[in-house]
Structures are given as C-alpha cells and as structure tokens.
Structure 1
C-alpha cells in the first residue's frame, strides 16, 4: 500500500459475458462481470472482548451459515481470520488437524468448534505465533476437491505482527473453463419462464408475420424460422430471473427481526453498555428462535407436500444430499477425468455403444398386416394440433429449441396454422426438421459406483413441437391398426397400463377358481398380436 502499487498476481480475473436484454446474437446486449476468485472467502475478526461471548459466537456461526447457503452447492467455502481463541491448540493427525484438550475449552470456543463442525468445515492452519499459539484460524469446507496448504508467508504486504504471522494459503482446485460457459444460451439460464405473460405473448404471436415460413421451400428453414419468431417474442414477454436473497422459509417478520438484530449490533459497536448488550442479546435470540421455527415449518411443509408437489420435495431432498447427482470424477474404459468436456465425451460414447433396437424394429414391421395403415389421404389440420397440445405436460423448462412446452399449451391457437403448414410439408416430403431432432441427454445414476459411467442411464428431453407431431401421427396410426391389435395388449395402449394388466390377470384367476375348472396353463396367451 505504501508504494501505491497492487500486486499483478492479484489483478487476475475471469471476465464472463452476461445477457441483459434485446438481441442475444448482438454482443452489445451483454455486460461483463469479473470473478476475482474461484472460492467464497469470508474474512473474520473477533475482538478480544467478544472472544468469550457465546451469543456473539453463535451469531457469527449463523452468519457463516447464511452466506454458505447462498453460495453455489459446489463452491469451496473458506472462512479465515483472527478468532482470538488462545486456548485452542491443534496437532497433526493423519494429514489432518486434531483439537487438543477439548475438555478445557471455554463456552465460546466450544460454540465455535461445534458450529463449524455442524457446517462441515475443518480447521487447516497449524502455523504458530511467537507464543506457540494459533490465533488465526482457517476453516475450509469438508470434502472439497481442492488440495490445500497453509504456510508462513515469505513476503508480507504489511509489517509483520508477531502475534499474527503472515500466512500463505495455497489451493489447487479444478476450476471450470471459461470456454465451457454456454454463452449462446445465456437467456435460457436467466429468463424466468414461470413468469411468462401468456396473454401478451399470444397477442404478439397472433399478429406476427408468418409469410417468411409460407415462402420457404425447405422444411428445415421453415422450422428454424418458426422457432426463431417464438424465441424473439419470448424474450420480450418474459422477465429475467432474480437470484434469491433469502432462504425459502423467509417471511417479512423474519426479515424485520434480522434488521432489528443488526441495528442493535451496530449500536453495541458504537455505544458499548449493558443496555445495548442486553437488547442485542434479546434481538439475537428472537431472530434465532424465529428462524428455527420457520425452518422447521418449511421442512414439514415440504414433507406433507410430497403427494401434491413431488418435484419440490425431491429438489429439497437433493439439496440436502452430500453426494452430487453426477460425480465430478468419472471413469470410463480405464480412463479417468474430472474435466467437463471429457466427461460429456464419456457419456456420449457410453450411450452410443448401447445395443441398437433396429433389428427389433424390423421384426415388428415384418409382422404388420399389409395395407393396414393408409396415410396417403392423411392431412394435418390446425384442429389436430390444438387437440394434441392438450396432451402435453405444462412444463416451463425450455427444450433444445429454447421453447418451453407451456407456450404451446397456452398459445397454441396463435401458432396452430403455421405449425400445421410445417407438419404437412414435413409429412408429405418425408423430411423431419433438423432443429426438432436435437435433444438433451441427461445421465441418471442407476446403482453402484457413481464414478463409473456405465452405471448411468440416459433420459432425453425433446422439443415440444416434435412431441405434438408424434402425438398426431401416433393417434392416426393407432386408429388405423386398432382392429389388428389383440384385446389382451396392455402396453402402449391409451387407457391401459401394467395396473390394468394385473387387474385382468387377477380377475381371470379368480374366475377360474370360482368356476372350479381346475388347473389351466396361464402362461399361454389367449390371443396373438
């Protein structure tokens, strides 16, 4: 600081583009943000007169907890600073630090250790000062993939304090590459599709000029321009997402209690007296008790909402799990990697190596009765599209084409005519649009080692428009071949499932038992496909 220079090695930052609004293909509609560190660093100083205050220490633990909750689930949390706890002594034990003489801890020290242990944070600093004590503690998230090392700094930025020797904390963590940021799909991560103004969107789509689609001769260009028009109006009628600044169980009463606690804390810092200390303690207790009660109510509400909203329940369960859905270090065919691009290649090769069902499809096609399906006179009408859209799930997650299914569920009347035009040309020419062939392949763990790619199965997320096309064609094929399908067929038949199959089987068994017809070969099917 005395030289007026800042070290060059501390000036390094990662610049990432963030979409604001307007045309997502224009660089002028992006703003830059800089990331100065890949870690979430919390610098702490506990004054000597507060080092024995249990309430103050518990409030500090609560603050660290709130900051860690707001951080990314995969982030590395680092809390370091002068805690003024001279009775805490540490010793090395199997490449980790162990607390010596825990019986001699003060209540404030015990609250600190218990709180950090509850947050799964370990103390990693073993450097001693000139009195053979460790006043500067460094807490790191337990189980983080970063290799760490705390050493005495050789070159300090300021004059050395013998009570607090300068420290160098080194990390070697796998950082995400900037090139892996989906810059082209930034709006998909920022737009809040649950807040779509469907009335305004439907009005804009109804007044849109679809002549660019009717003038096209290429089916691929038709579908691309159709999706591009919808995406442009989506950006204009959907607000951006706002990062939550409070936990999901927060209420206005809890936020007010937090503000009151912070006010008394500031007063206690400037005007130290028994009056401010007592009021700060009461405000802290009120906030802590109210927060615990609201959190308990939130957990019960999520549990009882399992049948009503199972998606929210499992999202809450997954947020509390320590193990990620996909391991950060994957193994495939004796190769191991933690890089995201290599991991995607592992999954792509694994899913591509699964046995193809082409032979089964050819066998099934050979058993079809000749001339059972006649689609020469079949024509796709807008009414069919409107009827098929009612069978879609009202999902707000965008597909590979950037359009959520809720747009077709709520605005299908505005887009039925151009969509029918595209479907008719696609069906007549036998060409399916390329943009609707794309899908998201998501790996889902089955069982076994999470690091082994072969223990995952893939599920696909298809564009909503391709689902509508599939529903229309499948209904027509089912209607034409219904007379050739056995009455005992339950799979892939509307209104039938495994439950109806079991019900039919149970009813047949009970009827045989009631009639007393004796034994019968139940494995032999009554009909054939």
Structure 2
C-alpha cells in the first residue's frame, strides 16, 4: 500500500511492479478539496494468487482507495476490506470530516477492515508516558484530533503503528478492528527511506487460512518443434476424394478435414508446459541466484536476529541493486541496437511496459447493471458490440441483387497452385484462430494441404455455402479510455481462422472485379 504516489495516467502499472500483482490505483484528480492535478495519489498492490476487487462505491472525494481481499479461512470465505488514504498537510477540517463521514458509512456494512495511510496528524502523540503504544485514544487537544478520536471510538478501531519518523512523530497510521495485528519495521525495503515516512510492515494473523489452490500447469503445443516431415507424409497418404465425399455437406467436409489434421497434430506436435515467469525478463541467472540468497538471509535474520547475518544482508543487497541496474542497462542497450534489425524486439518490450495481455476488472457494468459472473459479463460485451453491426437497409441498391444473379461465383475454381502461393505468403509469427491451427503449420504443409483445401474451397463456391466453422471468431475487447469496468469503453477485435482468411484472399480479387461498379458510395 502506497500513499502520495505522484503517479499520472501516462505511467503504466507494469512500470511500478511486475505481473505477479494486481495494481489498484487512484491518481490525484481535481476535487472540492484540492485544485492541483499533481502530487497525492494512492495505490494498493495485491498478489494475483489472492482474490481481490476494487470498491469504487466506497471511495470518497479524498485520495482514498478501497479494495476487498477474499481469503479462505477454514471452510468459509472471509472478506478483509483494505483502505489506503492520503490526507495532505496542513489538514483541512472539511477534508478530514468528509473522509470520516464517508468511512463511517462504509464501516456500517463491513466487518473486518484495515485502514492505512498518511493522516499528517503530527500533533497526536501515540506513545504513552509508560512507553507503550496507545491503541485507543484517551483525549483530544484540538477539533481535528477530536474528530479522529470520535471516528476511532465509534467504529471500535485500534491504532497499531508506533514507529516514529526522524522528528519523533507518527504520521502514518494503521487502524483496524481486527485482533492479531502486528506492525514492525521491515528488514528489506522497496525504495529509499523517506525520513518523514519510514516504511512499515503490517502483519495480519488468521487461524486456518487455506492457501490458494494451485492451478494445474498450462500445456500448449510447440509447433516450432513439430515433425512436419512425418505430418506431410501422412497427409499425402490420405485419399482425400474418399474422405471428403461429394455426398457430404460442406460443413461435414470441413469437420472431417479438421478431424484428420488434428489427429496428426496430436501425434507429431510435442506438448510443453507453460512456466510462469517469476522474475522480470531482463534478470540474469546470476542476479536471480543472488536474490534467492538474499531472501534466505532475510528469513534467517527474522528467525535468529544474528548481527553478522544483517551485515551480510546489507552487503548482498547493495550487490543485487548494482547487478539489477547493470542488467537493465544492458537490456535497454540491446533493444536500441536492434531497433532496425529486429523491430519486433522493441515492440515486445513496449507491450510488456503496457502490461502485456489485457486484464479486466472482476466486476463489469453495461451502464445499468453490474455483475462479477463471467457469463453475464460476456453477454454485456456481446450486447454492446452487436450495436456496431446495425445497418440501415434503406441504402441497399436494389439493382445489386439482379446484377449478382448474372455474376455468380459458381463458375470460379481455385487451383492447388493458387492455394500453395497463398499459404506460402502467411506470416509464420501470427497466432492461431478459433480452430487452433497456426499460420506456421499451414505454411510448412502448404504442398500437402493444397489438395484437401482445393476440394473444400471449390465445394463451398459451387454450392454457395460458406462453412460454419470458418464463421466463428474470437472477440477480444480492447480498452479505449475512461472507466475500465464499463463495457462501453471497449472496442472489439475479431480473430478469424487462418484458413478463412486464406479463402478470403483467394476470392477477394475475383469479387473486386465483379463488384467494383456495383457497390454504391454510401
């Protein structure tokens, strides 16, 4: 949890932390209490192994951020509500009252909560005369303190942080209505220490917390190491005129073709386990080894508190920081050197900076209703994207139908040589469509597949039926701008089967010659 992040919309989440975390941010924006657009801002990062969800309805006009964390405690699910807040100094009474009033309303509906943030209440002394921490306030010296005292007492909260800054003040507070909360100074830190705001480690202890279930490893086919010689020989042995009988429908032909091809793929294409990348891609093996060594030292310090281990830890930490800086500079120099010879390397870097694959909030809305159910969310997207395809039928040229009847596609025949040429043109780096057949396989087996594909394409043309399987697409919602939980802020990208695009490439020039004079301007 971070307060006063000073982040802006142009900074990507992947520039802050790696892909192991779900980043929830609330960057500063102009509101009734602050007309500055810079500074401020709060952030919560949750491990992706844990189920979490941002709660924008809980947030006030201040710099506060609410996230619900769901744990498995025993046989039941337990929700922990986390809040981080930044209240700029000097504290305005109206700002504190607004935050307190909003949080009072929130806490009426939640059981377990932890509120951590920079409250900038420098006049409060949380250390008693006996040297012990004051978890529950006793008295207040000002109206601001009285507002905070009332808030703590009303909601049965306790304050757990007593780590002072260099001025012997406590500006960052930890409020919770939970037991077994421990706040300490971390052994390992994320950044340089701010003397006004030393980092704190807050540990919550629960009994019988179940670890998240490990998902079975994801397995994929490695088409780069496929035995294409064996697949090609097997395809040439198939009697395609018998397998793709003329008595079959076009859909039945296509289904049979995929059955034969997929059977050979399963036999001759090896499977590989997709491993999760634990460290950034530019880390060297030596750096990873030193980091693991540093982590083992950190655990030893926590267990035995040996001064010699602390000295070794500090030395190793400096070495790791130096190695990380060196590895990153080497990686960046490599990208710059290859930007002309291998531009894909640069765009891969940019994609990672942008966060890699698109991720979507747990809860989505269509503008009226909200849901966390995956099926319902998919229907939200489907309903929104279908509006794109609404056309005005009044603009249809009535002469087009009569012209089409005189220029049918029945007489068009696609040759095997044409198919081979189109398959050879395919970009082997492109992925597969809904049929899971990648361009690489079709490119490698162009000669062997030309015969069955010519039968399929010509049967489709002569019968005037396009195969149903090639009409299926994968729709990927791409975020544009605005609120990420609103489906109206996404645009669709359709991923087609490669064979459907090959068929289109063969027919498009012929259609263009026939239709160029028939299509109306509108």
Band of TM-score, shorter chain: 0.5 to 0.7
Measured after TM superposition, the shift of residue 485 of structure 1 is 9.5
1:315 aligns to 2:313 (yes or no)? no
TM-score (norm 2): 0.54
Measured after TM superposition, the shift of residue 73 of structure 1 is 10
Partner SS for 1:353: helix
1:331-372 deviation per Cα after TM superposition (whole angstroms, max 9, x unaligned): 326222232111111121222233534738842962997898
1:11-410 equivalences in 2 (<5 Å): 68=47, 94=100, 95=103, 96-98=115-117, 125=176, 127=178, 134-135=182-183, 190-193=219-222, 195-197=224-226, 199-200=228-229, 202-203=231-232, 205-207=234-236, 209-211=238-240, 213-215=243-245, 217-236=248-267, 237-240=269-272, 241-261=274-294, 276-295=309-328, 297-298=330-331, 308-309=343-344, 311-319=347-355, 326-332=360-366, 334-357=368-391, 359=393, 362-363=396-397, 366=400, 373=407, 375-410=409-444
Q: How far apart, CA to CA, are the structure 2 residues paired with 1:282 and 1:100?
A: 35
1:29-86 deviation per Cα after TM superposition (whole angstroms, max 9, x unaligned): xxxxxxxxxx99xxxxxxxxxxxxxxxxxxxxxxxx9x9489899898899xxxxxxx
287-296 or 67-76, larger mean C-alpha shift: 67-76
Q: How far apart, CA to CA, are the structure 1 residues paired with 2:455 and 2:264?
A: 20
Q: How far apart, CA to CA, are the structure 2 residues paired with 1:166 and 1:473?
A: 66
Q: How far apart, CA to CA, are the structure 2 residues paired with 1:396 and 1:304?
A: 25
Measured after TM superposition, the shift of residue 429 of structure 1 is 1.0
Measured after TM superposition, the shift of residue 381 of structure 1 is 1.3
Measured after TM superposition, the shift of residue 471 of structure 1 is 0.8
1:327–1:451: 8 Å Cα contact kept in structure 2? yes
Corresponding residue number in structure 1 for 2:31? none
1:180-235 deviation per Cα after TM superposition (whole angstroms, max 9, x unaligned): x9xxxx99x63154644263564365355354633362211111121233233333
Q: How far apart, CA to CA, are the structure 2 residues paired with 1:73 and 1:295?
A: 31
Corresponding residue number in structure 1 for 2:151? none
Measured after TM superposition, the shift of residue 377 of structure 1 is 3.5
Judged with a 3 Å threshold, the aligned counterparts in structure 2 of structure 1 residues 313 and 451 are, in CA distance, closer, same or farther, namely: same
Judged with a 3 Å threshold, the aligned counterparts in structure 2 of structure 1 residues 349 and 249 are, in CA distance, closer, same or farther, namely: same
Task: Tell me the number of residue pairs that the alignment of Structure 1 and Structure 2 aligns.
Answer: 365
Partner SS for 2:397: helix
Judged with a 3 Å threshold, the aligned counterparts in structure 2 of structure 1 residues 368 and 255 are, in CA distance, closer, same or farther, namely: farther
Measured after TM superposition, the shift of residue 470 of structure 1 is 0.8
Q: How far apart, CA to CA, are the structure 2 residues paired with 1:195 and 1:109?
A: 58
Measured after TM superposition, the shift of residue 477 of structure 1 is 2.7
Q: How far apart, CA to CA, are the structure 1 residues paired with 2:333 and 2:162?
A: 32
Measured after TM superposition, the shift of residue 449 of structure 1 is 3.9
Give the structure with the higher percent helix: 1
1:125–1:137: 8 Å Cα contact kept in structure 2? no
Measured after TM superposition, the shift of residue 267 of structure 1 is 7.8
Unaligned runs of 5+ in 1: 1-38, 41-64, 80-90, 112-116, 139-163, 490-527
Partner SS for 1:457: strand
Q: How far apart, CA to CA, are the structure 2 residues paired with 1:195 and 1:262?
A: 37
1:330–1:338: 8 Å Cα contact kept in structure 2? yes
Partner SS for 1:249: coil
1:6-39 deviation per Cα after TM superposition (whole angstroms, max 9, x unaligned): xxxxxxxxxxxxxxxxxxxxxxxxxxxxxxxxx9
Judged with a 3 Å threshold, the aligned counterparts in structure 2 of structure 1 residues 374 and 344 are, in CA distance, closer, same or farther, namely: closer
1:300-338 deviation per Cα after TM superposition (whole angstroms, max 9, x unaligned): 6668877712642442133189xx654443332622223
Judged with a 3 Å threshold, the aligned counterparts in structure 2 of structure 1 residues 367 and 385 are, in CA distance, closer, same or farther, namely: same
Measured after TM superposition, the shift of residue 258 of structure 1 is 3.1
Measured after TM superposition, the shift of residue 474 of structure 1 is 0.9
Q: How far apart, CA to CA, are the structure 1 residues paired with 2:404 and 2:117?
A: 78
Corresponding residue number in structure 1 for 2:500? 466
Partner SS for 1:191: strand
Q: How far apart, CA to CA, are the structure 2 residues paired with 1:300 and 1:328?
A: 38
Judged with a 3 Å threshold, the aligned counterparts in structure 2 of structure 1 residues 375 and 383 are, in CA distance, closer, same or farther, namely: same
1:128–1:134: 8 Å Cα contact kept in structure 2? no
Measured after TM superposition, the shift of residue 438 of structure 1 is 0.7
1:126–1:134: 8 Å Cα contact kept in structure 2? no
Measured after TM superposition, the shift of residue 469 of structure 1 is 0.8
Residue 425 of structure 1: which of 459, 477, 486 is its match? Answer: 459
Partner SS for 2:475: strand
Q: How far apart, CA to CA, are the structure 2 residues paired with 1:226 and 1:124?
A: 64
Q: How far apart, CA to CA, are the structure 2 residues paired with 1:195 and 1:124?
A: 55
1:233-256 deviation per Cα after TM superposition (whole angstroms, max 9, x unaligned): 333413322332432112222133
Q: How far apart, CA to CA, are the structure 1 residues paired with 2:408 and 2:460?
A: 17
Unaligned runs of 5+ in 2: 1-19, 22-44, 55-67, 72-86, 88-95, 104-114, 127-160, 167-171, 187-202
Q: How far apart, CA to CA, are the structure 2 residues paired with 1:166 and 1:280?
A: 27
Corresponding residue number in structure 2 for 1:88? none
1:250-282 deviation per Cα after TM superposition (whole angstroms, max 9, x unaligned): 222213323554576688789986655433432
Corresponding residue number in structure 1 for 2:134? none
RMSD after superposition: 5.3
